[in-house]
Structure 1
């Protein structure tokens, strides 16, 4: 019996011809829980560009700091709710810390920056056993006072039979690489090659004599920070990273970065079709009036007495907003680790702030701190931007529909399906099925297939889609008539 795979049904011999493949359905990805942040002060460590952080990340290795250090305060606060923080660490220039012993080793910090000056490396040789052809050296990397890596290297005696027994050649270069340092042992390759041609073994002679005579501890120096380039390059990252919300939390409110972020978010939403949102600190009451931007007015005090200022509190709300699903409003969501809002606003000032489109933290009975109302900065309403658009839950639902429709069209229909009635009906059936799911998830209501129509556009390759939806909002106000008989 024959078998195998097939392309067309043209086989001659009897048998089973089987193709194994996926079902062809595209996987639609979601950026839910991903928050883009911009480092406001030089970290002095870490790769140039995006550093991806979660609550369980090794912050010291990735950023050169503990997650609770002041320079990472916005990140720490955001990760109480965000699943992932994409931290833009962008700089020009700077230098790596280093330490060199000629012919023996060169130790370079993994990254540029002043934090590399906190690194030291120790070389501890073991006793040389009688008749042994090798000697062990323990290499320990220390960052500050914390041991971050330890590895044992075995050095052959600098003679031909020992090197051969170790499976090495005269030209082999010994190296150690970890999250903090790159260590290269020996003399430069060209010098080694020249001396080896004379039958010598300078590489292992220098290393062996330099590392196995006495224990040594070397400190790295010379590391310097580069110039912060976040503001100059942020737009490239805003357009090309995969995230839900971007925030300028942590930056002084006098910085121009907040307005630059707002303008870029408008551009992405309206001109590029990327439905992302922004959160900016705004204790000074700057007017943005845009449904894709939320502003944070005040902060709060944590249970341990730590005061979280508005520009750090903005990171907390941004993390919460990035992780909130489209059917979820953050109105009256409690901050479990907070004891009171700071500053506290009275009733009139709270109403004034809400009317100005501000996110306000308020203190409720029992030392509870909540988000008063999950709104954005839209305050001027029109026929195309009605009052419902001030609610973040409504905007998230509309953004979800736009994003999913774009992804589905691009992955399954664009360039693949004919623009005729049959093809357009296929796309309509897909959208009806999707919108029915949203209705079952209480994101929209009263949906009817007649609310969606597809016709050919002005060009032969264009499709015009008209869709009417009614987003669902959350209960927020209760009006009661209590009648006593």
Structure 2
């Protein structure tokens, strides 16, 4: 499915091509609350690719860390406002930690990485009852000092009737799997058979039973190593194929080229592919990106507990806020409930300079309140087709909502399904009029009239030309008062 902007009606691929112009001339899923982030250093654990995280996720199982660990600081800040963080954990190489007792068990960590070296597994046998054909063994998995899993397995005595009663053959192997380890019992059966030749009809189960039930066994995993971080190399593929509202390079050092790469890809997605997503990048250096799809964060803040959140971590907080903000909402003066002051604090002149440069600034208000000074993006050079309105994120969210909803509606309900004649175009127009009237009732746009929308046959028989005039609603931000004393 193609998309993007258009200058001539000469597109080849079926799709939706939308021009958004500043003067207003020329049910569906939503990415609201979903934030795409890029892990800036190896986690040493977790699946390769996207790890989906919410505030209630099991961070230890998914990332190998507590959510408050420094390596996850951007994620922790982002999830104060984002509903879901899609964390790209992309690496090459690395090794899983392991522990093996020949012929008895092999324990492999679930993922590559050094965090697997913190895993240990214990095998504790229960007393063998008189006349019993089986014996229970409790398998406990410990990550660091925390028990993360415990199961009980039942081993048949290594004799024919017990194994047959368990529904096993001498070739069968027992397994245990959880979020941390994969355990296989009776590994290398050929070797076991050779070593235990003449020791019974079922040497595999003789090895397992004797190895696990004579006394408690503790296995500590070793040999895990981290791979090389490949996030910057593969990020474009994920930017184009994941479902999110905002992407951020929060947490990365400002000297990294990844910030520029993200901005360029966001421009490409918005202009050439038709995916209306936005970016948030830390920007203490004051790089002039000058684009309505990119917001930059200049400073940070201090939390209630005294923790100083630096700008490159604070960018994750604003990115989470931006991902969750609706088209009828501006983040101007949105309060950070757990912060007491901006860091560094900017005086009036520096604040005005930063806002004029299109930067997000955290400011301190009376009563130890920290707020987003103004919900703007990095667009600072205005043209006839991109007026100052385009520098306001609420306006951009409105335009992006209309573009995304129109694209999804056309793709799912009209493309390839409805004839391109007057009747078919009237159906699509009725759908859009209903949708836009709904946005007006939600105070997202104003003064909408069905005559503001027209559809006509395009240059090709399969093309539809749609012209739409909308007036986004912005929020009150400035109050000018004449106070007259009589």
- Place the TM-score, normalised by the shorter chain, in its bin: over 0.9
Q: Tell me: CA distance 1:428–1:75, structure 2 relative to 1, closer, same or farther (3 Å).
A: same
Which piece of structure 1 moves more, 198-207 or 126-135? 198-207
CA apart distance, 1:340? 0.2
Q: Tell me: CA distance 1:104–1:462, structure 2 relative to 1, closer, same or farther (3 Å).
A: same
Which piece of structure 1 moves more, 160-169 or 135-144? 160-169
Q: Tell me: CA distance 1:197–1:384, structure 2 relative to 1, closer, same or farther (3 Å).
A: farther
Q: Does the 8 Å contact 1:170/1:196 carry over to 2?
A: no
Instruction: Tell me the residue number matched to 1:302.
Output: 303
Residues 72-115 of structure 1, C-alpha deviation per residue, up to 9 Å, x if partnerless? 00000000000000000000000000000000000000000000
- Structure 2 length normalisation: TM-score? 0.93
CA apart distance, 1:419? 1.1
Q: What SS does the aligned partner of 1:100 have?
A: strand
Provide the C-alpha distance between the structure 1 equivalents of 2:271 and 2:2, rounded to a whole number of angstroms.
58
Instruction: Tell me the residue number matched to 1:224.
Output: 225
CA apart distance, 1:129? 1.8
Residues 383-435 of structure 1, C-alpha deviation per residue, up to 9 Å, x if partnerless? 01000000000000000000000111111111111111111111111111110
Which piece of structure 1 moves more, 148-157 or 52-61? 148-157
Q: Tell me: CA distance 1:299–1:165, structure 2 relative to 1, closer, same or farther (3 Å).
A: same
Q: Does the 8 Å contact 2:236/2:265 carry over to 1?
A: yes
Q: What SS does the aligned partner of 2:329 have?
A: coil
CA apart distance, 1:165? 2.1
Residues 189-215 of structure 1, C-alpha deviation per residue, up to 9 Å, x if partnerless? 686699999972011100000011111
Provide the C-alpha distance between the structure 2 equivalents of 1:337 and 1:445, rounded to a whole number of angstroms.
35
Instruction: Tell me the residue number matched to 2:386.
Output: 385
Q: Tell me: CA distance 1:299–1:450, structure 2 relative to 1, closer, same or farther (3 Å).
A: same
CA apart distance, 1:19? 43
CA apart distance, 1:5? 46
Residues 291-327 of structure 1, C-alpha deviation per residue, up to 9 Å, x if partnerless? 0000000000000000000000000000000001111
Which piece of structure 1 moves more, 444-453 or 159-168? 159-168
Q: Does the 8 Å contact 2:290/2:380 carry over to 1?
A: yes
CA apart distance, 1:6? 45
Provide the C-alpha distance between the structure 2 equivalents of 1:265 and 1:64, rounded to a whole number of angstroms.
30
CA apart distance, 1:169? 2.0
The aligned runs of 1:365-380 (5 Å cut-off) are: 365-380=366-381
Q: Tell me: CA distance 1:322–1:13, structure 2 relative to 1, closer, same or farther (3 Å).
A: closer
Provide the C-alpha distance between the structure 1 equivalents of 2:397 and 2:4, rounded to a whole number of angstroms.
49
How many residues are matched?
485
Q: Tell me: CA distance 1:12–1:360, structure 2 relative to 1, closer, same or farther (3 Å).
A: closer
Q: Does the 8 Å contact 1:33/1:319 carry over to 2?
A: yes
Provide the C-alpha distance between the structure 2 equivalents of 1:282 and 1:5, rounded to a whole number of angstroms.
28
Q: Does the 8 Å contact 2:25/2:469 carry over to 1?
A: no
CA apart distance, 1:375? 0.3
Q: Tell me: CA distance 1:458–1:72, structure 2 relative to 1, closer, same or farther (3 Å).
A: same
Q: Does the 8 Å contact 2:395/2:472 carry over to 1?
A: yes
Provide the C-alpha distance between the structure 1 equivalents of 2:5 and 2:281, rounded to a whole number of angstroms.
57
CA apart distance, 1:27? 3.7
Q: Does the 8 Å contact 2:4/2:270 carry over to 1?
A: no
Greater RCO structure (CA 8 Å; 6+ sep): 2
Provide the C-alpha distance between the structure 1 equivalents of 2:453 and 2:15, rounded to a whole number of angstroms.
48
Structure 2: runs of 5 or more not aligned: none
CA apart distance, 1:167? 2.5
Q: Tell me: CA distance 1:16–1:271, structure 2 relative to 1, closer, same or farther (3 Å).
A: closer
Q: What SS does the aligned partner of 1:196 have?
A: coil
Structure 1: runs of 5 or more not aligned: none
Is 1:33–2:33 an aligned residue pair? yes
Q: Does the 8 Å contact 1:41/1:228 carry over to 2?
A: yes
Q: Does the 8 Å contact 1:280/1:314 carry over to 2?
A: yes
CA apart distance, 1:18? 42
Q: Tell me: CA distance 1:151–1:476, structure 2 relative to 1, closer, same or farther (3 Å).
A: same
Residues 226-245 of structure 1, C-alpha deviation per residue, up to 9 Å, x if partnerless? 01000000000000000000
Q: Tell me: CA distance 1:5–1:389, structure 2 relative to 1, closer, same or farther (3 Å).
A: closer
Which piece of structure 1 moves more, 342-351 or 423-432? 423-432
Residues 247-269 of structure 1, C-alpha deviation per residue, up to 9 Å, x if partnerless? 00000000000000000000000
Instruction: Tell me the residue number matched to 1:153.
Output: 153
CA apart distance, 1:10? 46
Residues 418-460 of structure 1, C-alpha deviation per residue, up to 9 Å, x if partnerless? 1111111111111111100000000000001111111111111
CA apart distance, 1:130? 1.9
